[in-house]
Amino acid sequence: MAPLRVALIGLSSSAKTSWASGAHLPYLVSARGQSKFKIVALLNSSVDAAKAAIAAYNLPAETKAYGDPAALAADKDIDLVVCNTRVDKHHETIRPSIAAGQNVYCEWPLGKNDSQARDLVELARQSGSKTMVGLQGRLAPLALKVREIIESGRIGKVLSSECRGYGGTIDRQAVPEGLKYFYVREVGGNPFTIRIGHTFDFLQSVLGEASPVKGHFQVQRPEGKVFDPVTRAPLETINSDVPDLVIITGTLAESEFVQKNATIHLSYRRGQTFPGEPELVWNVNGEKGEIRVTSPSSAALQVLPGSEMPVIEVHDFETGKVDKVDWEHGWQDWQEGLDMRSRNVGALYEAFAEGGKYPTFEDALKRHEQLEGLWADWKA
């Protein structure tokens, strides 16, 4: 089968952040990626910007350069449009493609609010577009291994789950200039929607959906500091309306593996941990045992960019024994040659190409509505 023809939105030679080049491009230009996909077009803020990116990343000279989403949507020689722009640009850049019936992969969050996400979902239903969203943690070997342990019956039915994490930004009180929009809820991309969204989706992909859910938020540092990423000099202070402390509790759906009324609890604080404390600890308490996932250097379970890999341990209540469980052998051979950020992103591409299971815009809307409900409860 011929490789699927891909148009990338947001692969920029001058971007402040590098998710497109750091997470998507490594897979797409790898031998494995090129056997299934071919980059045929770029859409950036202008045609010239797209041409500059084509040159900067040594893409084939025949790669098309677009500066208008409508022009990209009119291209009949594209099999998959992939959006990597800032969150508040997602809706306007991919809506024409969805209206035209093109297949679209958009990074998470899908839109800057649930209204935008709902519009894209409804439009895709009408046009017949196949959709995929970047909730790549669902395909992570770590998630699959924890789910495997639970479904094996090793810990009995799940009674409760607690997760405590830190991060979202490197520093607890300042961000580089390119991320100052993290302090502005209206933009839609911030530690709450991005980091909490990914983490809560990761947990629910393993344990099942939580409903109802309640949230308690706090803006601990309402004055958000911004610094120059090169000189580290302070630039400005912005009034933040984005919580930097988030606590979520909910009830997991009863299932073959989860007891009725089982509780899920997630707490997240932006910034650094107490020295020596891991960035994330996740416990799954069962009838016969308990699972503990400890991630020393990264709470971003969907990508794991930190220097130390997470550890899975299982405590058997009857024997008192604690076993370490191998999960890193869950990587496929082709994944092991990629940067950590690109491994699970590559798994999404693989699932799309092979007709496997992957998260869609419908899944993204469900998560958007859940997060918006938490936010509304807090502001009520």
Enumerate domains of the chain plus CATH numbers: 4-134 (3.40.50.720), 137-326 (3.30.360.10)
Radius of gyration of the chain (CA): 21
The structure's pTM equals 0.95
Residue 46 has φ and ψ, to the nearest 5°, of -155, 165
E strands present in the chain: 4-9, 37-43, 64-66, 80-83, 104-106, 131-133, 158-167, 174-176, 210-218, 223-227, 234-239, 245-252, 258-270, 280-286, 289-295, 311-316, 322-325
Q: Are 238 and 226 in contact (CB under 8 A)?
A: yes
| Edge-first strand listing for the sheet containing 311-316 | 210-218, 245-252, 258-270, 158-167, 280-286, 289-295, 311-316, 322-325
Distance of alpha carbon 209 from alpha carbon 186, whole angstroms = 27
Q: Are 79 and 2 in contact (CB under 8 A)?
A: no
Q: What is the pLDDT of residues 2-30, one digit of tens each?
A: 999 999 999 988 765 589 999 999 999 99
pLDDT score of 304: 83
Q: Are 364 and 117 in contact (CB under 8 A)?
A: yes
Residues in the chain, pLDDT under 50: none
pLDDT score of 59: 96
Closest among 173, 326, 194, 292 to 240, alpha carbons compared: 173
pLDDT score of 15: 64
pLDDT score of 17: 58
Distance of alpha carbon 120 from alpha carbon 97, whole angstroms = 10
Closest among 312, 265, 315 to 286, alpha carbons compared: 315
For strands 37-43 and 64-66, give the pairing. parallel
